[in-house]
Amino acid sequence: MTPEALYCLERFDGHLGNERRLADLTRQHYRRDLQALVDWCDTHALTHWGALDSHHIRQFVAHGHRRGLAGRSLQRRLAALRTFFRYLVREGLLSSDPAADVPAPKTGKRLPRTLDADAVARLLDGLDPGDDPLLIRDLALFELLYSSGLRLGEAASLDLDGLDLNEGAVRVTGKGARTRILPVGRRARERLGQWLCQRRQLAAPAQQALFVSQRGGRLARRSIEDRLTRLAAGVLGQPVSPHMLRHSFASHLLESSGDLRAVQELLGHANIGTTQVYTHLDFQHLAEVYDAAHPRARKRGPGRGTD
């Protein structure tokens, strides 16, 4: 690709960061997907964006499929291309989007993994922190993830001024730099109060992070994941991720309330379609109850007559 074409990528990355205010991780995904397109164009002697048409985009997607990319990854890659080309059209650098009419490969729906309420209770109540400040911190963090449905990044980036234990609320900044205020449950407030007493001993001077490491700095995302995975394996015999606690929060709340819009607001989803996956989880639960309880659904044992 020409230097001018590559400069368009730099401008687009600035657009994602400054105008759309996307998270750094999301921008990294865009850069990775678009770099794959640049590499493919270089091998096919395509030097500028205007040289691409829908036939080229189909070839590029097929190339990814042959290299073993799953349907979900190809869908994400195609979405990145469309966003980029729409930006070029908006800036007057392209007359049309060559990816607009290219269909995304179909992929089966993958439901998020969740824990049932009993498993969550065993995890959060099955650890005795004693006087261990790190375990007190971990339990406060895990309770907050489940109590308020936070994303991992939202929890890791929380500062002291984002938590109000008196009001029972936490203020987080999520995707698209959208801020929302969430309720914090009684048990989470208790754990957080215990952690704040211990935090003074660990936090470095002027450190504003709510959750800090043993060295006094902000607790890293990877450390949160590792601690939760290891502790859950010891209590439940299975690894648990922070996102599983968020999914469990949403599933249990929807199961109890049936209020999809409220769950959408609490999760910070811009599109309710993203939240609707939890209706499938709720239906799965109802179907299991039905299969176990309905007289026409229960399996009959040998020799049993009809109703």
Active-site residues, by number, are 151, 175, 243, 246, 269, 278
Sign of CA dihedral 121, 127, 128, 129: negative
CA dihedral 29, 35, 41, 47 (to 10 degrees): 120
How far from 63 is each of 59, 71, 82, CA to CA, in Å?
A: 6, 12, 17
What's the helix, strand, coil split of the chain in %, to 5? 60, 5, 35
Diameter of the chain measured on Cα atoms = 79
CB 151 within 8 A of CB 129: no
- Measured in Å, how far apart are the chain's first and last C-alpha atoms? 73
How far from 177 is each of 17, 82, 165, 275, 278, CA to CA, in Å?
A: 10, 22, 23, 19, 24
Burial class (CB in 10 A: 0-12, 13-18, 19+), 104: middle
Give dist(CA 40, CA 45) in Å, integer: 9
Give dist(CA 93, CA 120) in Å, integer: 52
From 172, 121, 123, 177, select the one nearest 151 (Cα to Cα): 172
Tokens of 2: 């020409």
Where do the DSSP E strands lie in 53-133?
A: none
Give dist(CA 197, CA 190) in Å, integer: 11
